[in-house]
Amino acid sequence: MISVARLAILVGVAGLIPFIACAAALFAMPQYSVSLLGYFYLYSAGILAFMAGIYWPIAMQLDNRCYPLSPLVTMLLSQVFFVAAGIGLLLSTPAQIVLYTVAYLGLYVTDARWMRVYWPAWYLRMRMVLTLVAVTCQLTVGAWFFLLHSSQGV
């Protein structure tokens, strides 16, 4: 039987495949850039919203205790990241790059700073690696976008 930690790591790594594939495909198949960018940011928003949703079950277990954050603050943090995910879909590509990069880093910092008491020891190590890869893909897409537009003189 597979352990929960190993399963989470496998699923987490599998979840990186669309990030990596889209970022690489932009360089390999630029003729599909509109579709690839759309999918990349839709996936970015979906994963960010999914990750933000984990705070609700934590908040419901707090029963008005304030350790380390109150249930209200915990739920509001979830909503901030969820709303950011949706807003990102309405922005231009340069703004999306910034928003999703900051949001993914912010989500990790939130986990590491305030939510660490709820996670097993291996979780934050896994999250750090997954976050770094997702952010690297955001920055890679950003580099592709800026290289494309600087070469076109736009």
d(CA 70, CA 19): 33
Provide the token pair at 94: 């340069």
d(CA 25, CA 30): 7
The string of pLDDT tens digits covering residues 37-64 is: 999 999 999 999 999 999 988 888 877 6
Residue type, 105: L
Query: Is 0.85 surpassed by the pTM of this model?
Result: yes
DSSP 40-59: HHHHHHHHHHHHHTTHHHHH
Number of domains in the chain: 1
Per-residue pLDDT, 59: 87
The string of pLDDT tens digits covering residues 82-138 is: 999 999 999 999 999 999 999 999 999 999 998 888 889 899 999 999 999 999 999
Q: Where are the alpha helices (DSSP H) in 1-92?
A: 4-28, 33-52, 55-62, 71-88
Whether the pLDDT of residue 7 is over 70: the answer is yes
Provide the token pair at 17: 């495949």
Which range, of 18-27, 80-89, 128-137, 141-150, averages the lowest pLDDT? 141-150
Instruction: Give the range of the structural domain holding residue 78, as residue numbers without chain letter.
Output: 4-151
